[in-house]
A and B are shown apart, each in its own frame.
Chain A
Amino acid sequence: MSNVPRFWRNLKRRYNLIGTKCLNCNELYFPPRQLCPKCRRASKIEDVQLKGRGEVLTYTIIHSAPKRFEGQTPYIMAIIQLEEGPKLTAQIVDCDPTEIDIGMKVEMVFRRIQEDGDAGLIYYGYKFRPIAN
């Protein structure tokens, strides 16, 4: 993903977890949708700020990673259901791979995701970490 506009156009989504909301049925979407699959053209869509708290539905520990992520292995990837309902994929950080579990409560943190080599762009965005009890 080396093209600047491609990353730039999703900055607010990736940095601030801004999803979309269907004004007809009130369903929330993250990743954002420009059309509600339930209401389709009968609805309007607007941006909505998500709180960034949720629960782990499933996870994996990646041992064999693409080059850009090799330095991070083994790392945890999970599907998280946000408190508001939408589900997303994210890396779980500040958590030992032996500690991660389904049902774990997590919160969003802003972190470095990957970079285009030594001199290229550095991409930032959301990851999640366990919520301390």
Chain B
Amino acid sequence: MKVAIIGVGLTRFGELWETSFSHLFVEAGANALRDAGVDGKDVEAIFVGNMSAGRFVDQEHISCLIADQAGLNPIPATRIEAACASGGHALRQGIMSILSGFHDLVVVGGVEKMTDVMTESTTQTLATAADQEWEAFLGMTFPGLYAMMARRHMYEFGTTREQLALVSVKNHRNAIHNPYAQYHVEITVDDVLNSPIIADPLRLLDCSPITDGAACVVLASERKAREYTDSPIYITGSGQATSTLSLHSRKQIPVVDSTINAAKEAYKRAGKSPKDIQVAEVHDAFTIGEIMAIENLGFFNIGEGGKATEEGETEIGGKIPVNTSGGLKAKGHPVGATGVAQAVEIVLQLRGDAKGRQVDADIGLTHNVGGSGGTAVVHIYEKG
């Protein structure tokens, strides 16, 4: 399979009190169209990933709102929801709309406005990604689920508390070179280990923050892309999978089988294997998430992600640089936007536009997870 990304756009990520929900999307979309050199009248459809505008900004029917505010009526606009993986799922829907021949040029975006409600309400909304009846009702929290995965990972594989912290330290270091990131501050292992406990063994600096932001990409068929650029980035692999909604129902606790299954499909479609991947953006909503991701995507053996992190294998300059953007931890995690923002980072890396965080890569991968692993979506990107 081959679908071109001919333009990318972001908003700044952070607590953007002055900016409204629809403003975020329109800004990222306009940036992506400008980057592509595409006029609005050539856009055939919009796909938007969003987790919970209904709870975060009290607005449903956002597909209409966005097409309206973008000045793109009457083109079709469709919202896709899969909790924190909404953006990655929207990307896949956009890809399928082009591969099916329905469209030749579409905008795929993701957006979340998380700071229009109080923090208590934001965390409750995030917890709806977990099983409300059999997890949240009983007192389980979203960080608590990842904490239980971390605990079991430490128990089975000897992963250490320091190794978890090193994920956060690395991602904060990378974010310093990303002007769109929420945080531009280096942290130490001690900072992580001394931050307040959220759900033991996870602490505040193991957790991604609450973020406003949007990200967009312009997708085109191979033929259409040639009208705009000689050097598009191609998406050559896509995989999506589900698992059980609740963590307790899965066969293994410290292994995210939806990631394994989504990756299997993406590698197969691209004709690639894990060792071909030279840069990756993975779902580090919590530090343990990145450690499981680099194992489940096949970069390292199951149980060896902590050690690989400690040995610097995932640093810029390491064997496989992971989360060069700063990841969800330091770039920020506007949940619905995250999956698309990951694609933006890989495109910048493959084009050679990643400036201070640039790595040498022709093939990249993105990995976006919903809930505690109930859904996962993986994409593979190659230089044209």
Contacts and interface: CB of A to CB of B under 8 A. Distances in A.
Interface of A: 1, 10, 31, 57-67, 69, 72, 74-75, 77-79, 87-91, 97, 102, 113-114, 123, 125
A61 B202 CA distance: 9
Shortest Cβ-Cβ A-B pairs, 4 listed: A60-B147, A61-B200, A58-B152, A31-B134
B144 A79 contact: no
Interface size class of B (residues with CB under 8 A): 35 or more
From B136, B148, B152, residue with most partner A Cβ within 10 Å: B148
A125 B138 contact: yes
Contacts of B155: 58, 102
B220 to A, nearest CB: 40
Interface string B193-228: 000111111100000000000000000000000000
Given A66-B127, A77-B148, 14 more contacts: A1-B137, A58-B155, A60-B147, A60-B199, A60-B201, A63-B196, A64-B198, A66-B120, A66-B139, A74-B197, A77-B140, A78-B148, A79-B148, A87-B248
Given A58-B149, A58-B151, A62-B144, A31 B139 contact: no
Nearest to A63: B197
Majority secondary structure of chain A interface residues (helix, strand, loop or mixed): strand
B253 A31 contact: no
A66 B198 CA distance: 12
B133 interface: yes
A59 B202 CA distance: 12
User: Which has the most chain B C-beta neighbours within 10 Å: A1, A87, A113?
Assistant: A87
Nearest to A61: B200
B128 to A, nearest CB: 11
Contacts of A65: 139, 141
Given A57-B253, A59-B151, A64-B198, A88 B134 contact: yes
B151 A89 contact: no
Nearest to B203: A63
B143 A64 contact: yes
Nearest to B153: A58
A72 B247 CA distance: 23
Contacts of A125: 138
A60 B200 contact: yes
A67 B141 contact: no
B196 A89 contact: no
B92 to A, nearest CB: 24
B73 interface: no
Interface string B120-139: 10011001000111111111
Listed residue (B132, B135, B136, B140) with the most chain A CB atoms within 10 angstroms of its CB: B140
A59 B144 CA distance: 9
Given A1-B137, A58-B152, A66 B124 contact: yes
Contact of B199 (A31, A61, A88, A113): A61
B249 interface: yes
B193 to A, nearest CB: 15
Nearest to A6: B133
B138 A79 contact: no
Given A58-B152, A77-B139, A113-B138, A89 B199 contact: no
Nearest to A1: B137
A64 B199 contact: yes
9 contacts: A31-B134, A31-B246, A31-B249, A60-B151, A60-B199, A75-B139, A88-B134, A113-B139, A114-B137
Contacts of B152: 57-58, 102
B138 A64 contact: no
Scoring B131, B198, B201 by chain A CB atoms within 10 A of each residue's CB, the highest score goes to B198
A62 B135 contact: no
Contacts of B141: 62, 64-66
A90 B120 CA distance: 22
Residue of A57, A61, A62, A113 contacting most chain B CB atoms (<10 Å): A62
A77 B145 CA distance: 9
